[in-house]
Structure 1
Amino acid sequence: MPYTGDVTPGGPPDVRRLGALTITKLSVGPMDNNAYLLRCNATGALLLVDAANEAPRLLKLLGDDQLSTVVTTHRHMDHWVALEAVTAATGARSVAHEADAGELPVTSDTVHDGDTIMVGDCPLEVIHLVGHTPGSIALHYGDPAGIHHLFTGDSLFPGGVGNTRGNKENFESLIGDVERKLFDRLPDDTWFYPGHGNDSTLGAERPQLPEWHARGW
């Protein structure tokens, strides 16, 4: 079956196979959080984006393979409920942005804007997007044989940027970062994978940017 990114809590994962990287998307309850398991096809190295919840399901997804890294996109608890259990069971290192790492339940290596996290032979660029939280990040993978891919946490969704709880300064920071660091840099066919719900492309969302600015959320 072709990849759609349409997953539900308790349902099966969806798998997207790229030339060098395989992406497995799983939704965990109770808040319909997305977790993404990335596998380097050449080396078998594994990286998990957001150990959100349901540690037994995440560990089952690994099978007998060794997880090397868990990246947490931001400090909100619904994105790291399973982090302690997953890292304890696998020995994987925890990684987060410096501004959010102190809020996580495990000691984490810190990253900054422009850093690279490797999944085997596959580089992931860290993009710092300030506003949903001080240390929110997206991960960018430029497929050498295809399109660009973004794992955006709660900073970008189909239909808008992440929740800034009515704080105008945070909203202006977030939409500015998202526009400058994502929309201005990357082409319309860039596929993005958010922290909740369905995926989209930058091209599908780009026409809505003026509306997002005007409504202020």
Structure 2
Amino acid sequence: MGYTGEVSVGGTPDVHELPDLIITKVAVGAMDNNAYVLRCRATDEQLLIDAAAEPATLLEVVGGDGLVAVVTTHRHGDHWQALRAVVDATGARTHAGRDDAEGIPVATDVPLGDGDTVQVGRVRLTARHLVGHTPGSIALVYDDPHGHPHVFTGDCLFPGGVGNTGGDPAAFAALLGGVTTKLFDVLPDETWVYPGHGNDTTLGAERPHLAEWRERGW
């Protein structure tokens, strides 16, 4: 059976094998957070997106080859509970959105702005700054040269809508606008979306509902 992206806390991770990159998705913690370990096939270097919880689980997925970097998608506590333990165990460099770094209680080695890149081996990810869920949330885009793009959206985009903006109309408009212009307007329908919680989706599955989201206001 191929990759589905359906994982549960305490269950088996799911592995998405691409030509240049292996993506392992695991669910951790009381809030069912997704964490993603990315391994460059050419170099075996690894990067973790969101050290959310359960450091022992995350380190088991990482294995003995170590970790070069951890990217925290945003400042909310459920996305960094295991960050200190993972960094202490691996020596990985920390990355986060520049405008959220002050809200993460582990120092950010590499603050990220819109368009900045993160390298794992020979694979490059591009950060997209998305305002609304938090001031400095970032999505990471991997433009697979052998196929369609892949985007790790944190809590900014899920199946069925954008992330929580606390009922603030301005924050919702900012987040929907950013997701529209920086993801939907520039990436194809086949783009695979890996969110911070729950199941995966594609931009094509969500694109027909943009007007509906705008109308409902959340």
TM-score band, normalised by shorter chain: over 0.9
Mapping for residues 1-217 of structure 1, pairs under 5 Å: 1-108=1-108, 109-217=110-218
> What is the alpha-carbon distance in structure 2 between the residues aligned to residue 99 and residue 88 of structure 1?
24
Find the residue that maps to 1:107 and give its secondary structure: coil
For 2:97 and 2:33, the matched residues in 1 are separated by 20
Q: Letter of the aligned partner of 2:207 in structure 1?
A: R
Shift of 1:16: 0.6
Contact 1:53 1:82 in 2 (8 A): yes
Deviation of the 1:155 alpha carbon: 0.1
Q: In the alignment, residue 128 of structure 2 is paired with which amino acid?
A: I
Distance (Å, rounded) in 1 between the aligned partners of 2:211 and 2:63: 45
Aligned equivalents of 2:63, 2:123: Cα separation in 1: 21
TM-score normalised by the chain length of structure 1: 0.99
The amino acid that maps onto 1:205 is E
Larger deviation, residues 97-106 vs 157-166: 97-106
Q: Distance in 1 between matches of 2:107 and 2:182?
A: 28
Gaps (5+ residues) in structure 2? none
How far, CA to CA, are the matches of 2:174 and 2:14 in structure 1?
33
| Residue identity in the other structure for 2:71 | V
Cα shift readout 1:113-152 (whole Å, capped 9, x = no counterpart): 0001001000000000100000000000011111100000
Q: C-alpha displacement at 1:91, in angstroms? A: 0.3
Matching residue's letter, 2:18: L
The code of the aligned residue for 1:55 comes to P
* Local SS of the residue matching 1:102: helix
Residue type at the aligned position of 1:47 = L
Moved over 2 A (4+): none
C-alpha distance in 2 between matches for 1:52 and 1:204: 27
Residue 126 of structure 1 aligns with an amino acid whose one-letter code is A
Deviation at 1:188, TM superposition (A): 0.4
Given that 1:10 and 1:29 are in contact with CA atoms closer than 8 Å, whether structure 2 keeps it comes out as no
**For structure 1, which runs of at least 5 residues remain unmatched after alignment?**
none
Residue 164 of structure 1 and its aligned partner are, at CA, apart by 0.1
Give how far 1:54 is off.
0.2
Say how many residue pairs are matched. Answer: 217
